[in-house]
Amino acid sequence: MKGFTTKAIHGGLAGGDPYGTLRMPVYDNVAFAHESARAIQLTFEGKKPAHAYSRISNPTVQDLELKIKLLSGSLGVLGVASGMAAISNTILALAEAGTNIVTTRHLFGNSLSLFEKTFGPWGLEVRHVDMDDAASIEGAIDANTRALFLESITNPQLEVADCAMVSAITQRHKIPLIMDNTMMTPYLFNSKKAGVDIEVLSSTKYISGGATSLGGMIIDNGSFDWRNSPRLKESAKKIGPMAFLASLRQEVFRNVGACMSPHNAYLQSLGLESMALRIDKSCDNSMKLAGYLQNHPQVTRVGYPGLADSKFHGIAKKQFKNRFGGLLTFELASPEACFRFIDAMTLIKRATNVNDNKTLIIHPFSTIFAEYSAADKEAMGVPPTMIRLSVGIEDHDDLIDDLDRGFSAL
Ligand code: PLP
């Protein structure tokens, strides 16, 4: 199997079900019986691959994990309850009080809030750098740095870091590079080839197939030598490359309990099969809408890495498959104008999600980033005059008709 969609359709546990079903059923149960006391002991010790309890592993979730493993070409994958569960479990497995992670202020708001407001009081230090600036990254890393975290396209600033540059630095310092690849997914960006060690994804977005369900993925690309991780080195000496995933499955993820529900895994396996087709359409629509907005006299700025005059166009073109994602932003004259524009939509939905089949509109300043002060929001690249569009797969003429309605209301 070579093609992305072929793998998405035919990968996973195909053939593993006793009834030969063509679609992995929902194993909506909690516990699994074993043939002997010894067998269940070996399962608990991680020496026998079998399911024991659905908070730790489940066949329907495993089917999805194996599909994502095939698509990403990674060492292994863990399905979790949400994108935030993927990020929090990953940091919990690698860092501890007195250590730091290096990241940027230009991130999804909840990720920043998790690092600073949730992990901060537990003793984790968060260091902010400019991901465009190698010297600023180098300057922030020290012996207590446990990871560098970035997004493939930042939400909602739509910035694209040069992954090769960043990964050369993390490799030199022997710290894992973690990337939130929600916006591009393994279809548009193979993070392994780009030198990313751990990819995290909110599968709630493109993978779920139209915002059907929450989910997250932790993908170990197999590139990091876990003997260099202070938390994992002892286990890496014993079990080798699987140390990170084993520490999650047998400790952090098991103990935190943010597992993916089998029903969500079923929906997301189904969504995955058509994901490439949907992403292509959403990217095509985004290019068309970005061009339309760029030429509109009432728009003061459009943010979309697909536009030739975007600061990030060159690197995005090089890193992604000449596709630039389904998220774009534009600015109007005032926050009041943004509200009038948003209220005039009849087709486009006022909602906070991204990468749904439906196009969604939001004013990030007053919603997703509401917990931050105006000064913080400015530092985070979220101005009060910005509207974010998550572009769906509708016919683009209908979307432009709705945007026209917005401009008529100004
Ligand atoms: N990462 C990014 C880039 C996101 O946009 C989101 C949600 O919008 C998340 C993570 C969190 O995902 P979830 O809602 O599945 O927890």
Q: Yes or no: is domain 4-272 CATH 3.40.630.30?
A: no
Helices 335-343 & 396-408, crossing angle to 10 degrees?
130
Residue with tokens 């396996």: 269
Q: Contact, 78 vs 113, CB < 8 A?
A: no
> What is the reported pLDDT for 37?
97
Ligand 1 mutation pick, 113, 149, 182, max ligand atoms within 8 A of CB: 182
The ligand 1 atom nearest the CA atom of 353: 8
Phi/psi at 121 (5° precision)? -65, -15
Do the domains 4-272 and 276-408 sit in the same CATH topology, yes or no? no
- Average pLDDT of the segment spanning 14-34: 87
Q: Which residues contact 64 (CB under 8 A, 6 or more apart)?
A: 12, 79, 260, 265, 268, 269, 272
Q: What is the mean pLDDT of residues 350-376?
A: 96
The answer, yes or no, to whether residue 204 has pLDDT greater than 80, is yes
Q: Which atom of ligand 1 is nearest to the CA of 352?
A: 8
AA identity, residue 132: D
Give the position, in ligand 1's atom list, of the atom nearest the Cα of 354. Answer: 8
pLDDT of residue 16 exceeding 90: no
Kindly indicate the confidence band of residue 17, based on its pLDDT and cuts at 50, 70 and 90: confident
Domain ranges of the chain: 4-272, 276-408
Q: Which H/E stretch holds residue 136?
A: helix 134-140
**% of the chain with per-residue pLDDT over 70:** 99
Classify residue 172 by burial, with Cβ atoms within 10 Å: 0-12, 13-18, 19+: exposed
pLDDT of residue 260: 98
Residue 290 CA to ligand 1 centre (angstroms): 23
Residue 283 makes CB contacts below 8 A (sequence gap 6+) with 188, 306, 323, 324, 325, 326
What atom of ligand 1 comes closest to residue 182's alpha carbon?
3
Q: List residues near ligand 1 (CB under 6 A).
A: 82-84, 108, 110, 151, 155, 180, 182, 202, 204, 214, 216, 354
Q: Which two tokens stand for residue 74?
A: 């990674």
pLDDT band at 45 (very low <50, low <70, confident <90, very high): confident
- Mean pLDDT score of the chain: 96
The CA distance from 13 to 3, in Å, is 18
Q: Give the mean pLDDT of 360-374.
A: 95
pLDDT value at residue 88: 98
**Model confidence pLDDT, tens digit, residues 58-80:** 999 999 999 999 999 999 999 99
Amino acid 166 reads V
Probe ligand 1: pick from 118, 185, 204, 260, max atoms within 8 Å of CB? 204
Distance 35 CA to ligand 1 centre (A): 41
**Which CATH number describes the domain made up of 276-408?**
3.90.1150.10
Cα 410 to ligand 1 centroid, rounded to whole Å:
31
Transcribe 325-356 into DSSP letters. Answer: -SEEEEE-S-HHHHHHHHHT-SSSEE-S--S-
Six-digit token string for 245: 């995933």
Q: Whose CA is nearest to atom 9 of ligand 1?
A: 83
pLDDT digits (tens, 9 = 90+) for 267-293: 999 999 999 999 999 999 999 999 999
DSSP assignments along 61-72, one per residue: HHHHHHHHHHHH
Ligand 1 centroid to 93 CA: how many Å?
19
pLDDT in tens, 142-194: 999 999 999 999 999 999 999 999 999 999 999 999 999 999 999 999 999 99
Cα 260 to middle of ligand 1, angstroms: 15
User: If pLDDT is split at 50, 70 and 90, which confidence band does 321 have?
Assistant: confident
Ligand 1 centre to CA of 202 (Å) is 5
Average pLDDT (387-392) is 98
Q: 344 alpha carbon to ligand 1 midpoint, in Å?
A: 27
Between the CA of 110 and the centroid of ligand 1 the distance, in Å, is 8
pLDDT band at 14 (very low <50, low <70, confident <90, very high): low
Do 383 and 318 contact (CB within 8 A), yes or no?
no
Which residue's structure tokens are 């000449």? 322
Please give the number of the atom of ligand 1 that sits closest to the Cα of 84. Answer: 16
Mean pLDDT calculated for residue range 131-139 = 95
